[in-house]
């Protein structure tokens, strides 16, 4: 399985107050993820090139096609740390 910057506890809908995972009942960090990952609805609705950290950078997978309203499987959030 490839490493994905976007699938982190920090973007997961199962993260609740106190950095606690409501699925596992333990404290987690933004460098963790698991198979129960669920993208937060707010991010799910806002995944396009303009909100992608790779937009207009050398990391963009599709620089010729990247544009507002477009997205691809390489989308990654701007506020995640890994």
Chain residues that interact with ligand SF4, rule: CB under 6 A: 9, 12, 14-15, 21, 23-24, 28, 32-34, 36-37, 49, 52, 54-55, 60-62, 66, 70-72, 74-75
Give the 3-state DSSP-derived string for 43-63, with helices as H, strands as E and coil as C: HHCCCCHHHECCCCCCCCCCC
28, 56, 67 from 64: Cα distances, Å: 37, 10, 9
Q: Minimal distance in Å, beta carbon 31 to ligand SF4?
A: 10
Q: Minimal distance in Å, beta carbon 19 to ligand SF4?
A: 9
Q: Minimal distance in Å, beta carbon 27 to ligand SF4?
A: 10
């Amino acid at each position: 399985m490839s490493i994905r910057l976007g699938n982190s506890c920090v973007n997961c809908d199962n993260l609740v107050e106190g950095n606690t995972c409501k699925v596992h009942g333990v404290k987690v960090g933004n460098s963790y993820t698991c198979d129960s990952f669920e993208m937060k609805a707010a991010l799910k609705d806002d995944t396009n090139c303009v909100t992608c950290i790779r937009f207009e950078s050398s990391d963009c997978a599709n620089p010729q096609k990247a544009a507002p309203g477009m997205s691809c499987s390489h989308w990654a959030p701007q506020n995640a740390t890994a």
